[in-house]
């Protein structure tokens, strides 16, 4: 078991948490979160974090550990996940990383560059821009050519780096990476589900979230009066439900828009994961995993 790491990726609503519990029932396992939004404590329902009952079935880590005021990042997650993996090894357990934030997983597997820290004022200024992509085209055309205008997360990151250092993010990406777990043997799996079924599950899950208290979570989040640039304020469903609570959108419109935005994200997520992890295997026969990881 020592040095083995299992990774389970897949789009939102594709059943990753359920598969993780099946693995944990076969092999001593620590299920470690690799989803950026599920790291925040305020949105258990709306981020589809494992329920308390699910968490009681197996050891879980990095779920609900950050306050909404935190700017989550790859570097922050890496700093937390590496010690957890090493501790799991020391106890003879399988570290099982579960989540769809591919950048986190890719950085852990392939190593990272020495990226500069982004000051809070720079991050706030960049994320308040109305035309981030146009600003990136002007300041850093190299990165602008590599990114889609709608990929606001990566566009803002590229702008933040340029505003902080005066250099293109591409220059940092070209520098050699250093591995955080050189002794690790990674095996990566993914949930394999038709896109139409994922879309159906997303729509049904959003309705279920509304019934289970998602609106109350967003109400409580609004009471913190947080700036819009914080990651949790852009979580799927949050902007739409805020508009409903402020009276600028009907409940039905908010739900439909939240469902649509989540489906759009799942489509991008599926494409990105497929291209970035070509050796990933479908997690169809969980019995085979026991042979691999024991």
CA-based end-to-end distance of the chain? 6
Is the domain spanning 4-113+181-194+276-292 CATH 3.40.50.720? The answer is no
Residues of the chain with CATH 1.10.287.890: 196-269
Residues of the chain with CATH 1.10.20.140: 120-173
Predicted TM-score of the model (pTM): 0.84
How far, in Å, CA of 64 to CA of 125, rounded?
27
- Fold topology of 120-173: Histone, subunit A (1.10.20)
- In this structure, CATH architecture of domain 196-269: Orthogonal Bundle (1.10)
Q: What is the pLDDT along the chain (294 residues), one digit of tens a residue?
A: 569 999 999 999 999 999 999 999 989 999 999 999 999 999 999 999 999 999 999 999 999 999 999 988 888 999 999 999 999 999 999 999 999 999 999 999 988 777 778 888 888 899 888 899 999 999 999 999 999 898 887 898 899 999 999 999 888 877 767 788 999 999 999 998 999 999 999 999 999 999 999 999 999 999 999 998 889 999 999 999 999 999 999 999 999 999 999 999 999 999 999 999 999 999 876 556 666 665
Cβ-based neighbours of 32, under 8 Å, separated by 6 or more:
60, 61, 62, 81, 84, 85, 88, 95, 96, 97, 98
How far, in Å, CA of 12 to CA of 237, rounded?
13
How far, in Å, CA of 19 to CA of 38, rounded?
17
């Amino acid at each position: 078991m020592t040095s083995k790491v299992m990774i389970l990726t897949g789009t939102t609503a594709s059943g990753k948490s359920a598969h993780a519990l099946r693995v944990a029932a076969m092999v001593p396992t620590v299920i470690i979160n690799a989803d950026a939004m599920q790291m925040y404590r305020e949105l258990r329902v709306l981020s589809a974090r494992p329920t308390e009952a699910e968490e009681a079935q197996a050891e879980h880590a990095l779920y609900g550990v950050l306050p909404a005021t935190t700017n989550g990042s790859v570097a922050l997650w890496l700093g937390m996940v590496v010690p957890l993996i090493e501790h799991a090894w020391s106890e003879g357990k399988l570290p099982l990383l579960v989540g769809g934030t591919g950048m986190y997983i890719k950085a852990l597997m392939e190593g990272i560059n020495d990226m500069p820290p982004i000051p809070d004022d720079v991050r706030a200024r960049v994320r308040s821009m109305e035309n981030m992509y146009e600003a990136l085209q002007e300041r850093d055309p190299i990165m602008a050519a590599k990114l889609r205008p709608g990929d606001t997360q990566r566009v803002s990151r590229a702008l933040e780096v340029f505003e902080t250092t005066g250099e293109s993010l591409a220059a940092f990406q070209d520098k050699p990476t250093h591995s955080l777990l050189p002794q690790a043997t990674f095996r990566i799996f993914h949930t394999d589900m038709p896109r139409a079924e994922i879309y159906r599950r997303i729509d049904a899950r959003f309705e279920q979230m509304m019934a289970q208290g998602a609106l109350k979570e967003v109400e409580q989040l609004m009471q913190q009066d947080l700036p819009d640039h914080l990651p949790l304020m852009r979580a799927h469903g949050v902007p739409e439900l805020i508009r409903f609570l402020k009276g600028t959108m009907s409940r039905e419109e908010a739900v439909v828009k939240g469902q649509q935005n989540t489906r759009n994200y799942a489509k991008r997520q599926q494409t990105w994961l497929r291209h970035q992890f070509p050796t990933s295997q479908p997690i169809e026969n969980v019995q085979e995993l026991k042979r691999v990881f024991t």
